[in-house]
Chain A
Amino acid sequence: MSIDTEPHLAALLEARKARRAAPPYIPQVDGEVQGLLERFFDREAVGSKVSDVSRLGGGASKEQFMFTLAKADEEPKRYVLRMDPEEAITETSRRREWDVLRAMKGTVPVPGVLAIDEDAVIFPRPALIMEMMPGTPKPSSIDLSVTGLGTVLGDPLRGKIRPQYVDLLTKIHNFDWRSADLPSYAAPDADPKQATRWLIAFWKELLEQDVVAKEPVIRLATQWLEANVPDCNELSLVHGDFRTGNYLFDEDTGAITAVLDWEMSYLGDRHADFGWLLQPVFGTLSDGTFRASDIFAGTDDFIAAYEAAGGRPVDRSKLHYFTVFNNWKSYILVSVLGMRAAKEAHNHQDVLLTFLAATGPQFVAALARLLGPASGKGEAA
């Protein structure tokens, strides 16, 4: 029986089952990728030349390579190849990433997309090629930042980025998606609960397909989320992963140059983005002050900034629901999908996945607190 979620994602969930039995995934090497790119562009852009292929660091979900492409009669340009490993910390679609990047061009700064190999005709796994954008995801003083977690922007960068971040988030949420060309996205507008019902069904299916250890608090959270789905009367484009580490900025000016990592985006309740960016795991603690994404001094500070920037009012009861949801989703990402991919040797960054899985107890602790007797659990969210 098909899963009650977006049709494109339901197909994705079904297709991934067949990959479980695949042999260990061997990461691509630069030379092989050069050959793949040359074959690909022989079909797409005859007479083009591929050079300077090298891996990109960061990212727990895609194999990424940058390269130069010189097309006939054009200046050479730098591009990024994003390719799925066999399994990863997320389960997403290159087609949807293609659609949303095209749709958002001109609304917020995003990389332009050049080409897609959705069905892995040339590349070993589905792949997307997009422009290389200027900027950095972290200050150059930081040597290692695991997918941007705990990135300290510090002063004065924090103050420069904050208004831009809020402005971009409101633009994403106020985006007129009904007029946009998003063929792989479906609008969950059959009833006010469909958006979040689809969302929960998607993540629950991933949890059940990949479960490694049956954590009791996660079972309770699943039941609570299903029983307390709030209405969503204003569908928004939800980015799904907009936090420090997933945008690029110019280190000298502090200007945000690109919003990245749209792969978990969907149409639904925008409160999910709030609960995501406010999570402690993406924040920093310095001098006793917690800053969400190293930008906002907690929930009230964020809400005031968002609403002042033209964002629609934040409903705190929905924020509570999506705080539960995001802790649950985060656990599924790091302790279920990530650990399953590592156990099956189906990823190019197994050591990163097992490192990230150590964040799992944070989410269990948060859920136990949010759903425990002192939390008001049982009241409608």
Chain B
Amino acid sequence: MNPSVQDRLDSCVRALEHVVLPALPETASLAREQVMLVMGQVQIIRAQLDATPAFEQEEAADLAAMAQAMCDLAGEEADALRSLLAAPDQNIPRDHTAQLQDGIDALLQEYEGNGGVPSDISAVVCEHGAIRAQKDRAWFAAMGFDAGFAA
């Protein structure tokens, strides 16, 4: 039987928790902190592992929806973004997300010095941005930093 990714990650955490951490002196405060952070990271990565491909696909789809909504409101200044949306996507989702972010950013910059971003387009960015950010907060909620997060 092949060891699963989950089994391998679990074994890493156990080694850190029960072998490495106890072997570190109390005075090695940074090393102890780093071990605990690595344990936390690995445990969260383990919990996210199965859901990661769908998360990254949804992230790219959300960016595409924001870009489309902006294009629906914009004039010819958005033609480059329209071309990007129309092109067949052959990238992995992370790269597609980055490509869309670059395209949206270029359009927002286009408005600088030309009266600023129109309010309806700005509203679209905020509305879609808020929805996306809420999903990202949920994704990282296990980190324990987000006191104000409510799913």
Interface residues, chain A, with chain B CB atoms under 8 Å away:
54-58, 143-144, 146, 149-150, 213-217, 219-220, 223, 227, 280-281, 283-285, 290, 349, 351-352, 354-356, 358-362, 364-365, 367-369, 371-373, 377-378
Contact = CB atoms under 8 A, between A and B. Distances in A.
Nearest to B67: A216
Nearest to B126: A372
Given A362-B137, A365-B137, A355 B146 contact: no
Contacts of B98: 213-214
Main secondary structure on A side of the interface with B: helix
Most buried by B among A349, A351, A352, A361: A361
Interface residues of B, number: 48
27 contacts: A144-B37, A150-B145, A213-B98, A216-B105, A216-B129, A217-B125, A217-B133, A219-B104, A219-B109, A220-B117, A223-B108, A281-B147, A283-B147, A285-B147, A351-B37, A352-B33, A354-B41, A361-B139, A362-B137, A362-B145, A364-B129, A365-B130, A367-B129, A368-B129, A368-B130, A368-B133, A372-B127
A223 B137 CA distance: 24
Contact of B145 (A143, A144, A359): A359
A150 B141 CA distance: 13
Nearest to A348: B30
Contacts of B31: 55
B122 A56 contact: no
Given A55-B31, A150-B144, A352 B37 contact: yes
Interface in B2-59: 27-34, 36-38, 40-41
Contact of B126 (A55, A280, A356, A371): A371
A57 B98 CA distance: 35
- Which of A54, A352, A365, A372: most chain B CB closer than 10 A? A365
Judged by DSSP, the binding face of B is: helix
A204 B13 CA distance: 39
A216 B148 contact: no
Contact of B143 (A283, A358, A367): A358
Contacts of B119: 373, 378
Give the 7 A-B CB pairs with smallest separation, nearest first.
A57-B29, A361-B136, A372-B126, A365-B133, A368-B130, A214-B105, A358-B140
